[in-house]
Amino acid sequence: SIVNGNEIFAAARKGHYAVGAFNINNLEWTRSILAAAQETNTPILVQTSMGAGKYMGGYELCLNLVQQTVKSMGITVPVVMHLDHGNYEAAKECIEVGYTSVMFDGHDLPFEENLEKTKEIVALAHAKNISVEAEVGSIGGEEDGIIGEGELADVEEAKKIAATGVDYLACGIGNIHGKYPANWTGLHFDRLKELADEISTPLVLHGGSGIPKDQIQKAISMGVSKVNVNTECQLAFADATRKYIEAGKDLEGKGYDPRKLLAPGAKAITDIVRERIDWFGTPSVK
């Protein structure tokens, strides 16, 4: 069933494990991710970025897709339907449409404005029993061809955002969206410790693709309860699809049929998600 994230992530923080949050782009992504959760009998969060929402034809369609897929696949584990990195308008729209969780990402606004808008989104969302994620500091990533580390979350600012009642909090701790550069020095565990010591809100690790397993697990043991993974599923899908085509399988019989052509990539996504669920230590639901 589709549920909000409150209890799932609060329990994760208390239990020192994490629940994975995986981005979807289409039917195959949705089915592949849900299949891994059902196989492992663990809760999962599926999320659409604003770009994916636009690509798929709107947030209402995304929500319907997930709801109907959950139903048709007979998914029984808890599924959270989340907006990833939403601006103020997108967060409001997803609250209207009926997502069970939204991220309002105001990290690029002046801090006071991020705080005010986070408060507004929390009030709107909580009135409808919808969970909220906010962001402090910034997640690194590529800009003008250069991969930056982002800005580490300031502990005092993070405390103020946490005090708005957000259900989970994304903090910059040296994590980066997309591929990590070869000279990346790792997560800033000293900052994570300062944040986790002061804040009981479940913390979110963005840019989960390409962080070594031991660092992810250390971060989880310290207070990270939600790990976002996107790029790794994309790379796995592309790799499996390339192998299929390079092996000439699309030219054998009806190998060009999209239901065959997309199958190896879809399976590769399920494999990655299943492995990450294991890394994160997500316990089975009873």
Q: In the stretch 12-41, what mask flags binding to ligand G3H with x, by CB under 6 A?
A: -----------x------------------
Which of the residues are catalytic?
Answer: 84
**DSSP-H helix ranges across the chain:** 6-15, 27-40, 50-56, 59-73, 88-97, 111-126, 155-162, 189-198, 213-222, 231-246, 258-261, 263-280
Cβ 251 to Zn ion shortest distance, Å: 38
For residues 138 and 209, which CB has a smaller minimum distance to ligand G3H in the complex?
Answer: 209
Binding span for ligand G3H by CB under 6 A among 73-81, 155-163, 229-237, 273-281: 229-237
Candidates 36-44, 52-60, 206-214, 263-271; binding stretch for ligand G3H (CB under 6 A): 206-214
Residue 214 CB contacts under 8 Å (≥ 6 apart), including other chains:
none
C-alpha 40/C-alpha 43 separation (Å) is 9
Integer Cα distance of 91 and 245 in angstroms: 39
Q: Which of 5, 202, 207, 223 contacts ligand G3H by CB under 6 A? A: 207
- Please state whether 16 falls in left (phi above 0), alpha (psi between -120 and 50) or beta: left
Q: Which is nearer to ligand G3H, 131 or 244 (CB)?
A: 131
The reply to whether 206 sits near Zn ion by the rule CB under 5 A is yes
Using rule CB under 5 A, residue 31 touches Zn ion: no
Nearer to Zn ion, 13 or 206 (CB): 206
In three-state secondary structure terms, 75 is: coil
| Site membership for ligand G3H, residue 208 (CB under 6 A) | yes
CB of 206 to ligand G3H, least distance (A): 3
> Tokens standing for 227?
């790990």
Residue 125, Ramachandran bin (φ over 0: left; ψ between -120 and 50: alpha; else beta): alpha
Kindly report the length of the chain: 286
Asked if residue 107 binds ligand G3H (CB under 6 A), the reply is: no
272 binds ligand G3H (CB under 6 A): no
Binding site for ligand G3H (CB under 6 A): 23, 84-85, 177-178, 206-209, 228-232
